[in-house]
Every structure is written in structure tokens, then in C-alpha cells.
Amino acid sequence: MVKKIQEIYAYRQMLESLVLTDLRTRYKGSFFRFLVDSTEPGINAYCVFHSF
């Protein structure tokens, strides 16, 4: 388990680069869509927990 964490930590810059590239291509020119997609899970969880 510790080795896996160390390996992920060693490649953190590459992982960050891949994630940022994916986010840029997915939401290129659409800040509103990024905002909706990032807040929607929280809104859904709020509605579920407060409706019961």
C-alpha cells in the first residue's frame, strides 16, 4: 500500500498534467458547463439528504 502511494506521489506531475489536459479539452470554451458539472453532485446530495 505504501509503495503504491509512493509511486503515485512520484508521478504526481504527470498525473496533474493529464488531468488538466483532460479538463481543458472537455470544457474548452464552456465555463458554465464546468461550473454545472462540478456543483451538480453536491446539489444532488443535498436534495437527497434533505428530502428524507
Instruction: State the pLDDT at residue 46.
Output: 92
C-alpha cell at 23: 479538463
Instruction: State the pLDDT at residue 18.
Output: 94
pLDDT for residue 52 is more than 80:
no
**For residue range 11-20, what is the model confidence (pLDDT) as tens digits?**
999 999 999 9
**For residue range 1-40, what is the model confidence (pLDDT) as tens digits?**
889 889 888 999 999 999 999 988 887 878 888 888 889 9
**Prediction pTM value:** 0.51
Instruction: State the pLDDT at residue 26.
Output: 82
